[in-house]
Structure 1
Amino acid sequence: MKELLNTQKSYIQYLNDIENLFQGDNFDFNLLKQLKDQIYEQELLLPIIGAFSAGKSSLLNKFLGRDVLPVGIAPETELATELRYGVNEHILAIRLNGTEEKFDISDFDVIKMRSAEFSHLKLYLNNEYLKAVAPFVVVDMPGFGSSLENHNKAINYYLPRGAHFVVVVSVEEGNITRSMLRQLQELQNLERNFMVLVSKVNLRAEHQVNEVLDLVSEQLQISFSNDYQVLPVGESSEEQFREILAKVEPEKIFKDIFIKHLKDLTFDILGKINIAKSAMSNSHDDNERVIQDLSSGMQRIEEKRNRLIEDLQDRYSERVVNNCVEHVGRKLSDNIDELLVAIKNNSDLNQTIIEIVRLSFADKLKSEIGELSGDIIEEFNIELRSLNTLMTNYAGSEWVDDLSEKIKGKIEATNSLLTKLSETFSTKTDSGKVFKTIATVLAITTGTLAPLIELVIVFLPEIVGFFGKQQQQREIKNKIQSEIIPSIKRELRKELPKVINEQLNQMIENISESFETDLSQKREVIKQMQKERDEKLHNIEEEINKLNAIEKSIISLSENTIYA
């Protein structure tokens, strides 16, 4: 039987208790059951990230107590590898289309030759340490410095799914590189927590190690204004790493994932109870008028949605495209000295540009869509204000504004690229939309821009080979400013309109659907209560008392579980 965290057990019991309170009543519990399933199934992915040769795989081999992960393989063949407990040891290689192929654990060389076929691996080992860290699933990520394709396959899949990240920095590097800081900025944008391990500390004297630890801590404080754990690991890293995993606090992470949604669900259920009580108390004619009013409101929402989508291009899309493109251009210009260093040191200029574009584009797109979502929610809000008069006796005088705020919070979570499968009240099929923004950003920066950048770099003058002279440095800088950056901006302007339209269209659909769903649920509760009222006309007071008792019990349960 699957081992559950105490928090998982508590939340599942809480939802079971609520469901049991309504035995024999016709309340819709689909959302509750979906959330309960998601709580039970939730895993906590723990990606281990760092530069190629930072010592991630060696560290994990020591943690496992055996040399099973390949060490020192070519960066271009590196794939993200999930370490999972299983009695029957094997590897599942996951293809890009989601299908799987099974291998023996000795077949890493075979997989390496076919790495382009797969997105990631699942390595099942009969290992007590992996069993002990459940529900954490440790993931050995491709190093920064791996092929752009493999690196971005891993980023695409694990960045939105990772629950907590462990960042490995070799003491030999001496600090966190600018490239790594950008990766950490993406984690912070996703509100993912992380810790930093300084590896191979046995290769340096104690005072040198302490200097590196202090410098890394200072970099994190300056970049993120936050105190992150920075811990050393050396030869005895197997015990240290196990102790470090114990500090990650899975119970807290699990609570952070689900607590808001449990509160939202509880609030919705209590709201339905109040509507049910009002429907029982009010006359048949009043109920019918509100039912008609809610139907009219749903029609107005649909009409408003259609008008907004028709006006999408003129009102929103062009502005968002232009703001995103100009923001990316400014960020590239701001980092032009780093691009020069990449050329001078013969490092990967392509990768550096891609990182800057991806981070700046994602950040600006999030900001733009977040701002627009507030405006669009307000437009739907205005459409519903006329319903306030009749609905006040059922849902309170501020119900439209309360609904708008709830939808705004939901949209903000999606737009900040935070939402995981477990954090939505949708089905697994629908929740695939949640990752669309992340996939879109990565597709544009890797699939569209990477070939373009490679082509533009070809046209850099041969003076790159004579980088020592100041004049040549200025000329290269001018080439980047006048050729590479404008080419990237031109390509973005060609590719972004369709993508932005899709994003904004989906946002409008999500907002309108949220309003329509809420109105529909209110309408159905009133219809059901009206039916029961007509059937139990002589027992209305008894039914209302029953609902009052359920309400009181739910409040008590919530105080002891989600508000404790």
Structure 2
Amino acid sequence: MLNTQIKYIDYISKVNDEIEKTNLPDKVIEKFQLKETIEAIEKVELLVPVIGAFSAGKSSLLNSFLGDKKLPEKITPETALATELRYSEDEHIEAVGANSDITTFSIDDIEEIKDRAKDFKYLRMYLKNENIKNIEPLILVDMPGFESPLDLHNQAIMEYINRGVHYIVLSSVEDGTITKSMRRQLENIQAYERGFSFFLSKTNLKPKEEVEEIKQQVQDQLEDYFDITNEIGLVDDNGGESLQRVLSKIDPEQLIKTIFLEDLKDNYFSIKEAINTSISASGKTKEENNRAIQQLQKALDETLQKKNNLIEETKSRYSDIRINAIVEAVSMDLSNSIEEIVSVGMSGDSNALSETILEIAKSSLIVNVKDSMNDISGEIVNDFSTGLSNLNSVMADFTISENWIAGIAETTKKMITGASNKLNTIVSERKKVQNNNEDIDKTYKAVTSVLAITTEVVNPIVEVAIVFLPEILSFVFAAIQENKQKEKIRTTILTTTIPSLKRNLRAKLPEMFNAQVNELISQIGEQFEEAIENKQASIENAQKEREEENRNMEQIIQTYKKADKAITTLANNTLYKE
């Protein structure tokens, strides 16, 4: 376990010890999710996908890193599967199916797995290999090439783009430049706010001087397109050492901080808020506490009504104009790429043409759906916070901030727009298991980020497009077979293919888009409801303590203050100390 993991777990354990010395209500303590946070930190995995075009040398690079040819290097695009490389004393392969079911194979069964590639989403290859063990908790993932069949490639990319923490990107020196396909893949990675390290592979195939020229050209492209100035790595036929050097520059400690630090800080303020509410309420009269409780209940009822109203207004208020803008943006991006599409069409390769069009459409969808969901989530949060702004004056004596509602809004925005939330992932997976039981623990609510919501919209749309795209392209294929006239292919794509794709998007997009907007509204509403309920429970609990006979209220208040001081010191030494 990394030092940062140990430090965070120790911090949470000590915070929990301090909380247990107080009399905070169980309902409020459960909302802090301290046990779940420790579990998430303990189980965090740092996935590092290795991506590139087919035959870019990904498997060769990884085999060189392993020092053993465990990954098949000469496979067809149809049999390529994303493969996670994990350490284990017991070598075996787990094949994960579409429903997350697992089939176990021996390492020697790789050929059988290739023949059944369409049955699985991805593989976990467990190897007794010191190089894999030495980079833990980093987990390398061998990804299918860009030319793999659309359904397999789409499944793999969408499976890992929201789970990967850093990407290793391979581009063959034989390409001489960053291809348009590669550029779109990098745009997708940046849209999901992930970093990447770039390699030129197969450098042994060209003279050193030419390699340096290509390296400089690619470096210029990375800076122009992505504002990336990191030096490009060079990989020859023995690239394992180069990969090790790049991996050594990835700081797992910093990645752990990136994933968990903001959540821990937000959690710290939630704990301080609850303790200080109890301190304040303990010093109030019964009438003052009851008045605050009544106001909170009124706000809770209003929040629930607001949530229901917003869900009813989803289509007219959020979806119609956004969906139209997204579809038009996809159309514009396809039209702007017409020369590339026509060029692929002239080659006569129908699969390549389908892949190019879908790749352009998918990249456009990712960017535009994400931007729309970001805008919508901001509007929804503002709607809730504006409606509750009168609570600030009512709660002035019960909170540690002058604008309590703004604090809830800011925390909610960070949760919704967060690129990664491992705590919520753990809780979400736990809830999936519990859904099969009658006694579902409803205390823990996993908040889905905009990036995950984007995946939930884009992935099904792309899967549907895989089915209807060949029919849409039938006119183009006919034009190609007839005479391969460039202008006719261009006209057919602009007047038939793109309009047909737009019609299909307009038909399929609303259902998934509306469902995710409704989910956003529900989750944002629940965050406000939870904050109000916690405040209400803390005040009710303090009032109950006041009403009990023979209770030394001054001693109770001092207990809360000591806990508050101790937790503040722990946070300053762990979360705010550079």
1:20 maps to 2:36:
no
Which structure is higher in RCO with an 8 Å CA cutoff and minimum separation 6? 2
Give 1:149 shift: 1.4
Deviation at 1:409, TM superposition (A): 2.1
Cα contact 2:303–2:528 (8 A) shared by 1: yes
Deviation digits for residues 464-490 of structure 1 (CA, Å, limit 9, x no counterpart): 35877xxx3222211111101100000
Distance 1:145 1:496, change over 3 A: same
Tell me how large the CA RMSD over aligned residues is.
1.9
TM-score (norm 2): 0.92
Following the alignment from structure 1 to structure 2, what is the Cα–Cα distance between the partners of residues 229 and 32? 41
Q: What SS class does the counterpart of residue 395 from structure 2 fall into?
A: helix
Q: The residue matched to 2:199 in structure 1 has which SS?
A: strand
2:410 partner SS: helix
Task: Tell me if structure 2 keeps the 8 A contact 1:161–1:420.
Answer: no
Partner of 1:106 in structure 2?
A: 108
Letter in 2 for 1:39: I
Measure how far apart 1:459 and its partner are: 1.1
Counterpart secondary structure, 2:473: helix
What are the residue-to-residue correspondences of 1:249-398 with 2, within 5 Å? 249-346=251-348, 348-395=352-399, 396-398=401-403
* Structure 2 residue 420 is matched with structure 1 residue 419: yes
Moved over 6 A (4+): none
Q: Percent identity?
A: 37
Worse overlay, 508-517 or 378-387: 378-387
Partner Cα separation in structure 2 for residue 40 and residue 529 of structure 1? 35
Aligned to 1:41: 43
Structure 2 CA distance for aligned equivalents of residues 151 and 192 of structure 1 = 19
Give me the whole-angstrom Cα distance separating, in 1, the residues matched to 2:118 and 2:425. Answer: 32
Tell me by how many angstroms 1:432 deviates.
8.9
**2:6 — aligned with what?**
9
Cα deviation, residue 555, structure 1: 2.0
Provide the residue aligned with 2:80 in structure 1: 78
Q: Alpha-carbon deviation of 1:538?
A: 5.4
- Unaligned stretches of 5+ in structure 2? 432-444
Cα distance change of structure 1 residues 229 and 466 upon mapping to structure 2, 3 Å threshold: farther
Q: How many residues in Structure 1 have an aligned counterpart in Structure 2?
A: 553
Q: Is the 8 A contact 2:447 2:523 kept in 1?
A: no
Alignment counterpart, residue 471 of structure 2, candidates 433, 437, 455: 455
**Which AA in structure 2 matches 1:451?**
V
Amino acid at match of 1:422: L
User: Aligned partners of 1:379 and 1:61: how far apart in 2?
Assistant: 54
CA distance in structure 1 between the aligned counterparts of 2:287 and 2:71, rounded to whole angstroms: 71
Q: Residue 279 of structure 2 contacts residue 557 of structure 2 at CA under 8 Å; is this kept in 1?
A: yes
| TM-score w.r.t. length of structure 1 | 0.94
Contact 2:259–2:420 (Cα < 8 Å) also in 1 = no
Task: Provide the C-alpha distance between the structure 2 equivalents of 1:346 and 1:165, rounded to a whole number of angstroms.
Answer: 33
Shift of residue 517 of structure 1?
0.7
Give the conservation status (yes or no) of the 8 Å contact 2:66–2:132.
yes
Asked if the contact 1:31–1:425 (Cα under 8 Å) also holds between the matched residues in 2, the reply is no
Q: Distance in 2 between matches of 1:499 and 1:95?
A: 23
Q: How does 1:100-499 map to 2 (within 5 A)?
A: 100-346=102-348, 348-395=352-399, 396-413=401-418, 418-422=419-423, 426-428=427-429, 429=431, 431=446, 435-445=452-462, 447-460=463-476, 462-464=478-480, 472-499=485-512
The equivalences for 1:525-536 within 5 A come to 525-535=538-548
Which amino acid letter does the alignment assign opposite residue 278 of structure 2?
Answer: A
2:513 pairs, out of 497, 500, 513, with 500
Corresponding letter in the other structure for 1:448: V
**Whole-angstrom CA distance in 2 between matches of 1:527 and 1:200:** 69
Judged with a 3 Å threshold, the aligned counterparts in structure 2 of structure 1 residues 432 and 378 are, in CA distance, closer, same or farther, namely: closer
What is the rounded CA distance, in whole Å, between the counterparts of 2:560 and 2:22 in structure 1?
10
Contact 1:86–1:124, Cα closer than 8 Å, also in 2: yes
Q: Is the 8 A contact 1:54 1:168 kept in 2?
A: yes
Distance 1:141 1:424, change over 3 A: closer
- Equivalent residue for 1:539, pick from 552, 561, 568: 552
Unaligned runs of 5+ in 1: none
